[in-house]
Chain A
Amino acid sequence: MMFTLFSVFQPSPGLAIWSLVIFLLFWFLVGKFAFKPISKALEQRKNDIQHALDSAKLAREEVRDMKSANDKLLAEAREERTKILQEAKDLKNQIVAEAREKAKEEASKIINNAKQEIDNQVKASVAQAKSQLGGMAVEIAEKLIKKELKGNSEHDAYVKSLVDDLNLN
């Protein structure tokens, strides 16, 4: 019975030829009309997906870049602002200082002028007072001398020299 069991395993030319023909036809037809378009479609889809993934990555990177640029810009603006504020502050201080300096100068000038005026006034009044006092003193002396020495020119000259000495003071 072993032989009968083996008999089904005997390769038969008929079946072999048929299977060769059928398989070759199947290979040709399916390869040409099915596997080719399917492989192409799968390949294309694979590429599409890869492309989509790539562009998503690119977009993400772009967004990240943009964000960092924004941040940079913001930081710069902030810096600029503080810089401007600082400058303004400095300017203000400078202006205030200058104004103060100017005011001081003006004030000292005014004071000097006033001092000079006062000096002049004092000098004038002293001179006036001197001359008045001289006159008065002469009058008094005149009166005195008139009383004592009625009209002595030596005395007049002496008094005059005394007045001149006074003027030198």
Chain B
Amino acid sequence: MLLLFWSTVAFMQQADQHSGENQATTTEQSDENHEVETTVTTTHEEGIMPANAAHGETHAAGGHDEHAEFDPAATATHHIGDANVYTILEAVSIPLPTILYSKDAGLEMFMSSKFNADPHHHEDGKMAYQGYVMQTGNVKRVVDPGFPMDGEATIDGFSTKKEMVEGKEKIVDYVHYAGKEYKLDSRTTWDGGALGGGVTSFYDLSMTKNVVAMILVCILLFILFRKAANAYVTNAGKAPSGIQNFFEPLVEFIRDEAAIPFIGKEKYKKYFPFLLSVFFFILGLNLFGQIPFFGGVNATGNLSVTLVLALLVFILVNINGNKHYWQHIFWMPGVPIPVRILLAMIEIMSLFIKPLTLMLRLAGNISAGHIAIVSFIGLIFIFGQSGKSLLGSGVGTLISVPLTMFMMSLELIVAFIQAFVFTILTASYIGAATEEHHHEEAHH
């Protein structure tokens, strides 16, 4: 057990290092890009939409030809982010149900195909619907007056600017319509402005790419588990076979390495379904995200998803915390009073830090892996100068393929390790909260 945990930690550090380096390089590059060009304008290619032809000229002045400059940071960001459309291999675009709520316009429900997003072009929509548009796969809302807020409208493109808002530098997106620029609002987020988001004019409650992936993975897991469970009934008294052989070692591993050692031989049964659900939910989504060309779903790398998981852990741990647990938090027995006050402060902080680290660790590790892989693949475009140099592309491919393969195999391990780490830590928190202190006196 200890050995495993040690290797886990080692791997995590390794992965963190890798991702840290990658993140550092990508952001550096992006910063450089920004100094050169503060405004990034994207327009639809001319000819695809005849209606755009008239407006095309104005935006073509932005200096964008077919070979748009490759921006690794933007690509990575786009890749690990959520989207309101499911794009496979930049070719197939599957529309998803979009559910939007704003105070002034109320609830809107429609398919994201209304935006007519172009899978080849960063999933930018060509149409606006009910005052909403799609930029890089995400729904945004027009806030400037004068834009048609009812029905469809053909739009000409987007631009992104750095602006000073209330003394802070902020990224603001604009949509181009009928020769004018209209300011856009991103969806409401729960970071309180710390990560550049905050409460805006609308809520995006859509079934996004991640939601669809979660549903798919859950259905798949449920079917497989049902099959395994049935096999235990029909195959009772016989050696396990087929799907049982896949799940059984994992289930027993979680039971013998996480549940029983931390929670206890009898008490673990109450929490075992939760631990298994968490483990397989995370593992399933981690692995689903690893399937190449299949949308690159990054659900477990998304803070919203890990936030929910960590929140459930937090609730589960604290509603099951016994007297000793709370006593140890608020009034540690056997130490002087000043120390008790200090310990109480630390313990209360750790109460929240524990689930917070759960949330950040999982999202960070999985996103880091995705960023690393995208960055390595991005080497092809960087060396090939975004398609201008065939030789460069060749060299880039030679470097990129082994690196990507290495990273993918590492990510395969990380997928298991992160799922296991989340589960084992959950088990340890539950174990700490429900532990019976029989030898109190001997303890202190």
Contact = CB atoms under 8 A, between A and B. Distances in A.
A92 B203 CA distance: 119
Interface centre among A5, A6, A8, A12 (most CB of B within 10 A): A12
A26 B205 contact: no
B188 interface: yes
Interface string B189-200: 111000111000
A14 B229 contact: no
Interface in A1-59: 1-20, 22-23, 25-27, 29-31, 33-39, 41-42, 48
Interface stretch (B25-33, B108-116, B320-328, B346-354): B25-33
Nearest to B214: A22
Interface centre among A10, A16, A33, A48 (most CB of B within 10 A): A10
Contacts of B228: 34, 38
A104 to B, nearest CB: 85
A35 to B, nearest CB: 5
Contacts of A29: 222
Please tell me the size bucket of the interface on B. 35 or more
A3 B27 CA distance: 10
Interface residues of A, number: 38
B82 A15 contact: yes
Nearest to A44: B236
B82 A30 contact: no
A30 B275 CA distance: 12
A88 B26 CA distance: 109
Given A7-B81, A13-B203, A34 B229 contact: yes
* Chain B interface main SS type: helix
A4 B214 CA distance: 24
Contacts of B14: none
Given A1-B30, A7-B196, A42 B190 contact: no
Given A9-B363, A10-B196, A34 B225 contact: yes
Nearest to A6: B195
Contact of A26 (B211, B222, B299, B363): B222
Given A8-B367, A23-B277, 12 more contacts: A5-B30, A5-B73, A7-B196, A13-B188, A13-B304, A14-B304, A23-B214, A35-B272, A35-B276, A37-B229, A38-B225, A38-B251
Interface of B: 23, 26-27, 30-31, 33-34, 73-74, 76-77, 80-82, 99, 170-171, 186-191, 195-197, 203-208, 210-211, 214-215, 218, 221-222, 225-226, 228-229, 232-233, 236-237, 247-248, 251-252, 255, 269, 272-274, 276-277, 280-281, 299, 302-305, 307-309, 311-312, 363, 367
Interface of A: 1-20, 22-23, 25-27, 29-31, 33-39, 41-42, 48
24 contacts: A1-B27, A1-B73, A2-B31, A3-B195, A4-B73, A7-B186, A8-B80, A11-B190, A11-B191, A13-B205, A13-B304, A14-B203, A15-B305, A16-B190, A16-B308, A19-B309, A30-B277, A34-B222, A35-B225, A35-B273, A35-B277, A36-B273, A37-B229, A42-B255
